[in-house]
Amino acid sequence: MNIILLGPPGAGKGTQAQRLVERHGMRQLSTGDMLRAAVKAGTPTGLEAKAVMERGELVSDALVSALIGDELDAMGEQTGAIFDGYPRTAAQAETLDGILNARGRKLDHVIELSVDEEALVERITGRFTCASCGKGYHDTFEQPKVPGTCDKCGGTEFKRRPDDNAETVRTRLAEYRAKTAPILPIYEARGIVSKVDGMSPMDEVTAAIETILKA
Ligand code: AP5
């Protein structure tokens, strides 16, 4: 099964993708994570993307589409893909069709996480992750059970993203409204879009997604 999780920054795409990976052994393909890894490694892709990401704008379609193709080629043919943060423009949506066709895959579901934009700034600015295993936490909504220690790996170092500040978040939301939300009708016309209330508690969002996948 191949699915897209679509929604604005902070809607919960990464949170739900991690849960799908744990439950179903699917693979999360997050272009944001891939770009951050490239920035950290100082690759040519990372050097091109760094400043764009820090401004909260979108990096070039060609660059992210190449990353997605490479990741799909590196995973097993039977492993389902969760596209998290991709596609984000009409051009990327078109390219994804070609990428999937060329690999004998098809899109089964596009799950739209609908959210109240005002809540997103709080969600994003309170977010942090374990520096060792990447497990996500939040100052208010999901703290480690033992303060200062990761629930998953026991790590004690945590980090925050440089683009998770209120000003950049507003640019990211504007980019979503202008370039990403308009791709929904492409998938609605194919009858594969399901809407989930991303403002519900995390476990309820997970349950709603599971119901869609079983249908
Ligand atoms: P990317 O990494 O994709 O970031 P994003 O889309 O802005 O999404 P986020 O990771 O911020 O949010 P999320 O929906 O995953 O939320 P999360 O689950 O963490 O992209 C970063 C940048 O890379 C872009 O700005 C762009 O420059 C570049 N880029 C990436 N892909 C690109 C592409 N395809 N094309 C061009 N450029 C690209 O949740 C947020 C917080 O809320 C967490 O703390 C979580 O604990 C909490 N939370 C989650 N769900 C709930 C809930 N139901 N209730 C309460 N709290 C919740």
pLDDT of residue 105: 95
Low-confidence ranges of the chain (pLDDT < 50): none
Question: Would you state the pLDDT for residue 76?
Answer: 83
Tokens found for residue 189:
């016309």
Is 161 tagged catalytic? yes
Tokens of 18: 């991690």
Which atom of ligand 1 is the closest one to the Cα of 7? 14
Residue 23's φ and ψ, nearest 5 degrees, are -80, -35
The whole-number pLDDT of residue 151 equals: 96
Which ligand 1 atom lies nearest to the CA of residue 16? Answer: 18
In testing the pocket of ligand 1, which one of 115, 123, 143, 172 has its CB within 8 Å of the most ligand atoms? Answer: 123
Catalytic annotation, pick one of 135, 161, 170, 179: 161
For residues 125 and 165, the answer to whether their CB atoms sit within 8 Å is yes
d(CA 146, CA 154) in angstroms, rounded, equals 9
Phi and psi for 62 in degrees, rounded to 5?
-60, -40
Q: CA 185, CA 191: separation in Å to the nearest integer?
A: 10
Express each pLDDT in 169-200 by its tens digit. 999 999 999 999 999 999 999 999 999 999 99
Residue 117, pLDDT score: 87
Average pLDDT, the chain: 95
Confidence (pTM): 0.93
Omega of the bond leading into 201 within 30 degrees of 0 (cis): no
Separation of CA 42 from chain center:
22
